[in-house]
């Protein structure tokens, strides 16, 4: 993936938030953090699980800001665990 794909990936992740399992993280003076697990089709055409870290900032209520994301090596296991926790 090239740096130019970052905006597109961010939009894909945002568009799949509604159906992706989420785990609530820390909440502090900066906002509320969440981890989400997204099953998407990668550039190779293979399905992968992307783990994404988000923050809902105090000054931007209701607007998720992507902090980081990566392809999860234990993707299917973590996705299943997150789904079972809901």
For residue range 37-50, list pLDDT tens digits in order: 998 887 788 888 89
Are 32 and 55 a contacting pair, CB within 8 Å?
yes
Percent of the chain with pLDDT over 70: 92
Q: What's the whole-model pTM score? A: 0.77
> For residues 35 and 26, is the Cβ–Cβ distance under 8 A?
no
Residue 77 has pLDDT above 90, yes or no: no
Q: What is the rounded CA–CA span in Å between residue 84 and residue 86?
A: 6
Residue 35 has pLDDT above 90, yes or no: yes
Helix (H) or strand (E) holding 79: helix 75-85
Which pLDDT score is estimated for 9?
A: 84
pLDDT of residue 48: 85
């Amino acid at each position: 993936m090239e740096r130019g794909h970052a905006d597109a990936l961010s939009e894909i992740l945002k568009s799949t938030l509604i159906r992706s399992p989420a785990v609530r993280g820390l909440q502090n003076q900066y906002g509320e953090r969440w981890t989400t697990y997204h099953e998407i089709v990668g550039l190779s055409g293979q399905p992968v699980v992307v783990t994404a870290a988000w923050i809902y900032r105090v000054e931007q209520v209701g607007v998720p800001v992507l902090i980081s994301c990566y392809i999860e090596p234990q993707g299917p296991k973590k996705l299943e665990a997150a789904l079972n926790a809901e």
